[in-house]
Amino acid sequence: MSTSPDWALLDGIAQAELVRSGAVSAEELVRLAIERIERVDPRLNAVVIERFERALAEARAPLADGPFAGVPFLLKDAVCHSAGDPYHFGMRALKEIGWVERSDTTLARRFRAAGLVTLGKTNTPEMAGSATTEPLAYGPTRNPWDLDRSPGGSSGGAGAAVAAGLVAVAHGNDMGGSIRIPAAACGVVGLKPSRGRVSLGPELGEAFGSSTHEHVLTRSVRDSAAVLDAIAGYEPGDPYTAPPPHGTFLQAALRDPGRLRVGVLRLPPALAIATACQAAVDATAALLDRLGHELVSVEVAPLWDELQGGEAGAALATRELERLEQRVGQPLARELLEPATAYLVELGASVSATAYLADAQVAQQWARRVSASWRAQCDVLLTPTLPELPPPLGKLAPTALPPAELLEQIGRLVTFTAPFNGTGEPAISLPVWWTDGGQPVGIQLVGGYGEDAGLLSLAGQLERSAPWHARYATLE
């Protein structure tokens, strides 16, 4: 561990203050970030698409007068896209044709309006479909705390980049844990906001059903909150939107949360988790107790019910591939799909509309039972983020196992995260605990739907009580 005061280890708000005060120019800050990426990223492979010259030109031009004006930023190469930049979604098929996007998503525009300067795009598994980041298109991203381990997925490139100080803020999205898992694996902050908090417009109302949530990975809770203030809100045509907070999310992150009933999830006997993951939960529960919160042991029986979702999930993969082909105006080479993607696409092609709707309705009923169960017992739910430490690279690589077996193993890693994509409730992974060997172990806090502000208040209190800012991965 190092405690260098290097600018790269400041959070985004602090970097923006440097620019605003004139202590450093946006161009200087961007140039320093580019130099750090060029120096450090060859060991990580987190940044797979560069836009350095465009970023420098944007930093020299008048920037949007947003809260993060001049702050270097990385965009995940999935779902959110920017006009004039490559968009490959972790796919060899899109990389092969050199696809360049023609338009901005609503979120890309909002990032730009916040003043963030995008330096490039981060690595992601094919179609963001794994809990590790090892696509055949670009190769594996390495965990900066242990280069032989995965940084998690699907926002693994983003998590590794923030942990290594390449940028303070990086975009991610979460379909089953894809923000929270890399945050836990890489020792950073990862919030999945409430469903509908951040628009998927203008093309989409939903992505991969209602499971996709957009946000960022950050070094600090206040950055996560301030970015959410900048990007949240209804876009005309959105099918739904989360209720706005009272005040701002940043104000919430800086205030005391009051005394809360925190439920510590009681696991069924058959579910074994790693000792380190249980230790992280226990240490966090002890800290919450010292902070004056009421701890209760919570059983959420519906959480472990078998869900009928395989057919619906496969159909969504099939539709996403069709949508991409329509967007690029040509068929994508099926032989370039990774085995698990090809397996899902083939399975999904045979799913009827009525079978898809039946699966969706079962999932909705299950989500109601889960939310009602835990909310009747507590205000906030505490769980592990991951059931085990990040797997060694190669263990869950695209060709490591037969597709069905690989998908089953990936499913274990999303045990604690995916349920709250189903319920749409906000959930955050925090690096409160570390092993004796220096590996971060994230814990997850879940809030009631629309209660993102309260969740950020509790996260901010934990951060002030057990600060992690001085910890960063030393790769130089």
Tokens matching residue 77: 């190469």
The C-alpha atoms of residue 332 and residue 330 are separated, in whole angstroms, by 6
Buried b (16+ CB within 10 A) or exposed e, 33-56: bbebbeebbeebbbbbbbbbebbb
For the question of residue 76 being annotated catalytic, the response is yes
Beta-bridge partner residues of 429: 190, 444
The C-alpha atoms of residue 377 and residue 298 are separated, in whole angstroms, by 7
417 φ/ψ angles, rounded to the nearest 5 degrees: -100, -45
Q: Which among 76, 95, 121, 192 is annotated as catalytic?
A: 76
Q: Which among 178, 194, 220, 224 is annotated as catalytic?
A: 178
* Best CA proximity match to 430, nearest among 161, 186, 260: 186
Q: Which among 82, 130, 150, 154 is annotated as catalytic?
A: 154
The C-alpha atoms of residue 48 and residue 121 are separated, in whole angstroms, by 6
DSSP-based three-state secondary structure for 448: coil
For the question of residue 178 being annotated catalytic, the response is yes
For the question of residue 95 being annotated catalytic, the response is no
Strand runs labelled E in 28-165: 47-50, 72-76, 117-122
* Burial category of 24 from C-beta neighbours within 10 Å (exposed 0-12, middle 13-18, buried 19 and up): middle
Q: Which residues are known to be catalytic?
A: 76, 154, 178
